[in-house]
A and B are shown apart, each in its own frame.
Chain A
Amino acid sequence: MKTIGLKAGVTRRGALAAGAAMMASAAGVGRAAAQASGAPIRVGGTLALTGPLAQTGAIHKVVGEIFIEQENKAGGMLGRPIEWVLLDDQSKPDLARTLYERLLTVDKVDLLMGPYATANILSAMSVAQRFNKVLIHHTFGIPKLANYDRHFPAWPLGAEPEKTVTGNLFDALASTGKAPKSIAIVTSKFPSVQFLAAGARDVVKQRGIEEKLYLEFEFGNRDFGPIAARVREANADLLYVGAIGLEGSQLLEALDQLNYKPRNHYYVYPTPGPLASSPLGADAMAATAYEDLAPLNASTTAQEFSKLFRVAAQKAKLPYLEPDTQAATSYSAWQTLTGAVNATKSLDDKVLADYLKGNGADTIVGKFRFDGANNYGPDLMKVKQVQNGAWVIVWPKEQATPGKTIIVK
């Protein structure tokens, strides 16, 4: 069952019918009704479907639709179909706040699902807090800012990613015996990314690695030429790029135009496709929560999700069809939500919150625990690397793609 948000004033039933007719291609409407019955359980949330964050918002929309269709086919939650009341927050935090209030007070949804990206999640969280609602969200980047006791993160960064994510990377590099002796850190001022890069500086210092360059550039920077020139001049063993989206690829190209190739290079949240497909991206490393690779995709759930995602992503005209961190954490957030509801047979927020704190959740990204500081559990992020034109997991060893080890130069 697929649902649509509506403008205020139109009755939901009428619009649902119209919506169903309109979206014949969405399928599943009839089947869902056959298998899950009763009044639907309504889950409300917003995503950045337009505006500057829409490119990633689109991934989360695709995943949510996949999940709900799957779930409803399998009998829904508590035997009732799930209905997703999805609204577009236009990438604006103030609108996100207003729309979550609308979801709770006008649409009167039963449960909430978080929006996309840190600022909007914080907005949603403040609303959830006022209503004591459980808020499960998938893409929150700065754990220390989240101090509501009923929020549950599915982006498995751990409570102090500014230490652990970078620490992981250096553990991986050190395991080869060829740990880099110097580093150049270049980061975008996108809040959640800058936060990690700034943390990386401390980690580097503790490990006695020489920081040859630390640069911050504005999010949305267009000209990477001068930055590339400085990276080339610093010529460090490791280039650490605090990049979100395509900033990393743009910097690489600017470096290529200066005939410079970084010896080792790491990216925080890169758009995965272009790095893997470009020859310049060879050996590039990044943090990830999931790839469609053994052993991460061992479960049938994970395999089926991966398969469905490729089909749906193609239909939604997304250019990169491999499910990775964004898609998988989104799916995990839904798994966390339905897992708690099905286990407790309850829609009560206190019951759900207590359950999640005590039991965590089993997801395709791994076992979530919410028992640490700010409801964060362990850091589940892994290190991946482009090898032969494709991403493979190289760290930690027990989760590495079989036969693959990290390449350090």
Chain B
Amino acid sequence: MAARTRSNSAGRATPLLALGACALALLPLFHPPLFFESFLYLIFFWITLATSWTILGGFSGYVSFGHGAFYGIGVYAMANLGKPLTFGPALLLAGLLAAATGVAIGAVTFRIRRLRGELFALLTLSLAIIISTIVLNTPIDGGPGVMVNIAIPHVYEQQSSTLYLIGLCVAFGSIMVARAVQLGTLGRGLFAISDDEDVAEILGVPTFAYKLIAIGISSFLAGVMGGVHAIFVSYVTVGETFSISVPLYVLLMSILGGARHWLGPALGAIVITTISYSFVGGDSALIARAAIGLTLIVATIFLPQGIIGLLLRARITAPELPAPHASFAAAPKTPPYEPTDGPLLEAREITMSFRGLRALDGVSLTINKGEILGLVGPNGSGKSTLINVVTGFYKPTGGVLLHCGHDITGMSGHERARLGLARTFQIPRPFARQTVLDNIMVPALFGARHESRGDARDRAMEAIEFVGLQDRCDALPDELNLHQRKFLELARVLASGSRLVMLDEVLAGLTPREISEAIEMVRKIHACGTTILFVEHNMRAVLELSDRLIVLNQGHLVANGNPREVIADPVVVAAYLGADHAEN
């Protein structure tokens, strides 16, 4: 799996690639038949489109059917503006116009949680159709097509050789951009978004901004390539530019090559372009076409991770284990509190309604620094909703949330994560396509500590060792048992360096022995100076751990105080066992 080796996949490929690009750049000096340059140019063209697509579609999982629109904007920007502006500025503008369109679309759609998956695909498809209709019916084209006759800078003797060089630069640049994105913090964030966007946000990934950046880069590169291609084809028409085959082939190339790796789409583009543009014999055209179809089927079936998966397989069989860390089992240090006197977190009259149903009804509570606050309540009493409100997943219908005295009610999830609020999930929600180490890297990078990348790796390793998963660093979450996945959740909040950790039923589903281990783990986390909100059904554990206990029932806070006193409270008993028992 490509993602499995993600953290160490830069390797030797890059210098080789750069060397190759340099050699290709010098190719025209040897006067090869013009056809080769032209053919290579077409490969560069598809590499750029596929690679730029993957920065959004492959990395963040926002599959777009509208990539042709960004490319088309670039084509028509050059066709219309190339003459007045000259090549260089027009090319830049081609990219910027495409990027502006992409970012504008993103700014509207990325706010809407439902617009993921196929709905995003539909949206982008519709958008491409709309843009093509506008171009067709306005003076941008109007129908008869536009002749593109623009001088390009003089590098090589032949203009076509120079165009080849430009294509090469754009393609190589795109690959390098994709590489930088993937290996950088942005890539970590995008991969997390692709696996579980909601979790990514509450772990501190600024999902909205990252998606905007991704679509901006993606559409910019496509627009630039469109600008170059307008000159290559010299006569642009709407039918050709906005044909469905552009987004379709881009998707095919990316997936075939491996959409979750910066080099994958380029490989896919090379393979598909070479096959489909090589078999052009007049009498074998149909057979060649059918052969492409067969290649797609066979390659997909036998290379489920794309071509890049095949290339990386060797590394997977011998995973590079991270170096053991010196301070084994030493808990990560929590940063000192800000010098305020009040509680760490205060909720005032929080109300949360869903279509008239009140899940939380005027709940007020405080969480003090350094305590373990137990939270119990029957199923459906609002415990998980409360956590979701505190982490910012839900925006409360009413009430105020204060953190160290500051109002954080309107703050997004990732901003709260950076303040040091973290949670675990009752049913673990790891990033399914990332290794244990990569999973923990996300909160280490984006959480309260907001570490640099080198430090984040150390922090992640510490957290992994803390929960005892150091032997499973390169495992995928699917390969862990439930107990290990729960500990993975714990390692996440540890690595984030949060001050307040909300543990949502960490004990559920564990065996008695595992429960004891988990309780011990919670104690250790607390011992490092972390404040804990402990949500649990297991009363023994609650009583054993909690400094204070609060009880929720039907959205109301019904009790608050010393754990042993609280559970004796008739109201609490009634909540659990029904009113009759309480009266007796």
- Identify the A interface with B (CB < 8 A): 3-8, 19, 23, 46-47, 49-50, 61, 84-90, 92-95, 97-99, 101-102, 104-106, 118-119, 122-123, 126, 130, 142, 145, 189-191, 194-195, 198, 216, 218-220
Among the stretches B274-282, B355-363, B432-440, B454-462, the one at the interface with A is B274-282
Chain B residue nearest in CB terms to A99: B280
- For the complex, give the distance between the alpha carbons of A87 and B283 in Å: 8
Q: Can you list 21 A-B contacts with CB-CB less than 8 angstroms, sorted by A residue number?
A: A3-B282, A5-B280, A88-B280, A88-B281, A92-B240, A94-B42, A97-B38, A98-B38, A98-B42, A98-B277, A101-B35, A102-B33, A102-B38, A104-B34, A105-B34, A119-B235, A119-B240, A123-B235, A191-B143, A191-B145, A219-B239
Contact of B286 with A by CB under 8 A: yes
Contact, CB under 8 Å: A7 / B278: yes
- For the complex, give the distance between the alpha carbons of A261 and B286 in Å: 41
* CB-contacts of B157-180 with A (<8 A): 158-160
Q: Which of A95, A195, A198 lies in contact with B280, CB distance below 8 A?
A: A95
Known contacts: A105-B35, A130-B160, A219-B239. The answer to whether A122 contacts B234 by CB under 8 A is yes
Contact of B237 with A by CB under 8 A: yes
Enumerate the 8 nearest inter-chain pairs by beta-carbon distance, A residue then B residue, closest first: A86-B282, A105-B33, A102-B35, A5-B281, A88-B285, A189-B143, A122-B235, A98-B38
Contact of B289 with A by CB under 8 A: yes
Contacts of A219 in B (CB 8 A): 239
Contact, CB under 8 Å: B279 / A7: yes
Contacts of A93 in B (CB 8 A): 233, 235, 240
- Identify the B interface with A (CB < 8 A): 33-36, 38-39, 41-42, 45, 133, 136-137, 143-145, 147, 158-160, 229, 232-235, 237-240, 276-286, 288-289
Contacts of A216 in B (CB 8 A): 137, 143
Known contacts: A88-B285, A105-B33, A191-B145. The answer to whether A218 contacts B240 by CB under 8 A is no
Q: Which of A101, A126, A191 lies in contact with B34, CB distance below 8 A?
A: A101
Contacts of B280 in A (CB 8 A): 5, 7, 46, 87-90, 95, 99
Contact, CB under 8 Å: A7 / B234: no
Contact, CB under 8 Å: A218 / B136: yes
Chain A residue nearest in CB terms to B32: A105
Chain A residue nearest in CB terms to B239: A219
- For the complex, give the distance between the alpha carbons of A95 and B160 in Å: 14
Q: Which of B137, B233, B281, B286 lies in contact with A97, CB distance below 8 A?
A: B233
Contact, CB under 8 Å: B282 / A49: yes
Q: Which of B136, B235, B282 lies in contact with A145, CB distance below 8 A?
A: B235
Contact, CB under 8 Å: B277 / A123: no
Contact, CB under 8 Å: A50 / B39: no
Most interface-central of B36, B233, B279 (chain A CB within 10 A): B233
Contacts of A98 in B (CB 8 A): 35, 38-39, 41-42, 277
Contacts A86-B281, A98-B39, A218-B136 aside, 11 further interface pairs with beta carbons under 8 A come to A4-B282, A7-B279, A87-B280, A87-B281, A88-B282, A94-B42, A94-B233, A106-B35, A119-B235, A122-B235, A130-B159
Contact, CB under 8 Å: A97 / B232: yes
Contact, CB under 8 Å: A123 / B234: yes
Contact, CB under 8 Å: B283 / A23: yes
- For the complex, give the distance between the alpha carbons of A94 and B143 in Å: 19
Contacts of B278 in A (CB 8 A): 7-8
- For the complex, give the distance between the alpha carbons of A219 and B229 in Å: 23
Contacts of A122 in B (CB 8 A): 147, 234-235
- The total of Cβ contacts below 8 Å across the A-B interface reads 122
Contacts of B282 in A (CB 8 A): 3-5, 47, 49, 61, 84-88
Contact, CB under 8 Å: B38 / A101: yes
Contacts of B229 in A (CB 8 A): 94
Contacts of B158 in A (CB 8 A): 130
Chain A residue nearest in CB terms to B132: A218
Known contacts: A94-B42, A94-B229, A142-B144. The answer to whether A50 contacts B285 by CB under 8 A is yes
- For the complex, give the distance between the alpha carbons of A50 and B34 in Å: 25
Contacts of A194 in B (CB 8 A): 143-144
Contact, CB under 8 Å: A7 / B281: yes
Contacts of B276 in A (CB 8 A): 90
Contact, CB under 8 Å: B144 / A191: yes
Contacts of A8 in B (CB 8 A): 278
- For the complex, give the distance between the alpha carbons of A49 and B159 in Å: 29
Contacts of A6 in B (CB 8 A): 281
Known contacts: A93-B240, A123-B233. The answer to whether A50 contacts B289 by CB under 8 A is yes
- For the complex, give the distance between the alpha carbons of A123 and B233 in Å: 6
- For the complex, give the distance between the alpha carbons of A323 and B231 in Å: 37
- For the complex, give the distance between the alpha carbons of A147 and B238 in Å: 22
Contact, CB under 8 Å: A119 / B237: yes
Chain B residue nearest in CB terms to A3: B282
Contacts of A49 in B (CB 8 A): 282, 285-286
Chain A residue nearest in CB terms to B243: A52
CB distance from B135 to the nearest CB of A (A): 11
- For the complex, give the distance between the alpha carbons of A22 and B39 in Å: 28
Contacts of A123 in B (CB 8 A): 233-235
Contacts of A97 in B (CB 8 A): 38, 232-234
- For the complex, give the distance between the alpha carbons of A19 and B282 in Å: 11
- For the complex, give the distance between the alpha carbons of A122 and B144 in Å: 13
- For the complex, give the distance between the alpha carbons of A301 and B443 in Å: 81
Most interface-central of A4, A88, A123 (chain B CB within 10 A): A88
- For the complex, give the distance between the alpha carbons of A88 and B45 in Å: 20
CB distance from B154 to the nearest CB of A (A): 15
CB distance from B38 to the nearest CB of A (A): 4
Contacts of A105 in B (CB 8 A): 33-36
CB distance from B151 to the nearest CB of A (A): 14
CB distance from B136 to the nearest CB of A (A): 6
Contact, CB under 8 Å: A195 / B39: no
CB distance from A84 to the nearest CB of B (A): 8
CB distance from A296 to the nearest CB of B (A): 29
- For the complex, give the distance between the alpha carbons of A301 and B289 in Å: 37
Q: Which of A50, A86, A145 lies in contact with B286, CB distance below 8 A?
A: A50
Chain B residue nearest in CB terms to A145: B147
CB distance from B452 to the nearest CB of A (A): 45
Q: Which of A19, A104, A142, A190 lies in contact with B283, CB distance below 8 A?
A: A19
Contacts of A87 in B (CB 8 A): 280-282
CB distance from B162 to the nearest CB of A (A): 13
CB distance from B285 to the nearest CB of A (A): 4
- For the complex, give the distance between the alpha carbons of A88 and B238 in Å: 22
Known contacts: A102-B35, A105-B34, A106-B35. The answer to whether A94 contacts B283 by CB under 8 A is no
Chain A residue nearest in CB terms to B235: A122
- For the complex, give the distance between the alpha carbons of A218 and B137 in Å: 9
Chain B residue nearest in CB terms to A96: B233
- For the complex, give the distance between the alpha carbons of A3 and B283 in Å: 9
Contacts of B234 in A (CB 8 A): 97, 122-123, 126
CB distance from A157 to the nearest CB of B (A): 15
- For the complex, give the distance between the alpha carbons of A3 and B284 in Å: 11
Chain B residue nearest in CB terms to A7: B278
CB distance from B496 to the nearest CB of A (A): 50
CB distance from A59 to the nearest CB of B (A): 14
Contacts of B284 in A (CB 8 A): 4-5
Contacts of A130 in B (CB 8 A): 158-160
Contacts of A220 in B (CB 8 A): 239
Contact, CB under 8 Å: A95 / B42: yes
- For the complex, give the distance between the alpha carbons of A42 and B472 in Å: 66
Chain B residue nearest in CB terms to A85: B282
Contacts of A95 in B (CB 8 A): 42, 277, 280
- For the complex, give the distance between the alpha carbons of A4 and B240 in Å: 27
- For the complex, give the distance between the alpha carbons of A190 and B38 in Å: 27
Contacts of B239 in A (CB 8 A): 190, 219-220
CB distance from B181 to the nearest CB of A (A): 28
Q: Which of B45, B136, B279, B286 lies in contact with A189, CB distance below 8 A?
A: B136
Contacts of A189 in B (CB 8 A): 136, 143, 238
- For the complex, give the distance between the alpha carbons of A93 and B279 in Å: 16
Chain B residue nearest in CB terms to A87: B280
Chain A residue nearest in CB terms to B283: A4
- For the complex, give the distance between the alpha carbons of A50 and B290 in Å: 11
Chain B residue nearest in CB terms to A94: B233
